[in-house]
Structure 1
């Protein structure tokens, strides 16, 4: 069964491929035509990492580096807005930069796009905050991996994939790695999980490199990727 309102968190690395972006737009527009309301949060990806690395070499503070990352995420959001509009989609025409703006845009079009909000927040956390603010109870996290693992699969080829976990179980996994500096956020951070817990929000983590995974998840399939549930 599908739901009427969904938040989509798009990894910034999706924006490395024009073909993948184009496919995502097709899927987003098709969902909108079916009557779904979508809040989309874009990451900064490699553009953010490049600027943050330059910032570190120039001895900028972590807060300043975070602002560079936020700028990159908003640039990706603007590209998505322009591309959706170019195909005749009805999307709020500006990148949302606050929760208040998100609420106004939500009432206006039911399709809003945003990047980061403030230093110290991952865009995954932004996706939980905007979901809470708009009353959305499910997030589709189009990530750089195909689900939640007990440890980093890029470092541990034997890492076990977890199909379903509660927030408490996911928090225990996060306890093993807690570093949070600009441009190095993990798949999901404890602050995002705390927002999910207090508002009963679930998150399905799917492979963002394969747009068909988003299509499947939007159709209501919960057997793709991994799902984190409040309890």
Structure 2
């Protein structure tokens, strides 16, 4: 078998990915399926870090839009990502995968504080590392947290797992004529306002030449295929 194309990856998951068809919260069946795929890529020797959102429980932007103080709403959203991180840790450990949740907001009784060198050491020891609480700062999304953590742990690529099979010229659900990009540059994403990751995250990846693969989370085996170097979804690069 050929070696993986990437040896250390950062997987970006939305909080909504965990709720399945429930409309809210965490669906244990979805967590089990994601954990199964992560365990599979870890078993081929790939080091895996994960950044997870919290939109299935609370979204800071939504709270702010309803009149809540934006910083307070964002902190609540960060706490939601910790809950999702713990759920994912539980799912992974049921698959026999040693996992550590590192959080940007200290809560030592449930997770380790984020320390960059400790995170890298966990990865080197074959543990899956789940980064929770975003960057620890309001006004920054978990997309930006994913880009930042990918740089900090020196990941080879960001795998952005979504509900669609790549980046399109328009929303394929609303525009049947939308076409998919196999490959696109960071500048094109920014200039066309494509909803891949927010502009701060894309700019950070562009400055540091961090490739992003956007793929369909619901297609079984996509993560493994992308890591093995097969063409899956859309690639954002220079």
TM over 0.5: yes
Q: Which protein is richer in helix relative to its size?
A: 1
Query: Which consecutive unaligned segments of at least 5 residues does structure 1 have?
Result: 177-185
Give distance in 2, aligned partners of 1:39 and 1:30. 14
State the match for 1:104 in structure 2. 118
Give distance in 1, aligned partners of 2:151 and 2:206. 10
Give distance in 2, aligned partners of 1:5 and 1:91. 15
Shift in Å at residue 152 of structure 1? 2.9
Q: 1:19 to 1:152 in 2, by over 3 A?
A: same
SS at match of 1:169: helix
Give distance in 2, aligned partners of 1:207 and 1:149. 13
User: Is 2:123 aligned against 1:114?
Assistant: no
Q: 1:35 to 1:131 in 2, by over 3 A?
A: same
Task: Count the aligned residue pairs.
Answer: 216
Deviations 1:37-79 (A, max 9, x none): 1110111132124x7656654x311222212221112211111
User: Is 2:43 aligned against 1:36?
Assistant: no
Q: 1:156 to 1:96 in 2, by over 3 A?
A: same
State the match for 1:47 in structure 2. 57
Q: 1:144 to 1:36 in 2, by over 3 A?
A: same
Give distance in 1, aligned partners of 2:89 and 2:182. 32
State the match for 1:193 in structure 2. 202
Shift in Å at residue 109 of structure 1? 4.1
Q: 1:213 to 1:199 in 2, by over 3 A?
A: same
After superposition, the CA RMSD in angstroms is 2.3
Query: Which consecutive unaligned segments of at least 5 residues does structure 2 have?
Result: 21-27, 106-112
User: What's the TM-score once normalised by structure 2's chain length?
Assistant: 0.81
Q: Would you say the 8 A contact 1:166–1:228 is kept in 2?
A: yes
Give distance in 2, aligned partners of 1:170 and 1:80. 30
Give distance in 1, aligned partners of 2:104 and 2:234. 29
SS at match of 1:153: coil
State the match for 1:215 in structure 2. 224
Q: Tell me which of 11, 14, 30 is aligned to 1:11.
A: 14
Shift in Å at residue 167 of structure 1? 0.9
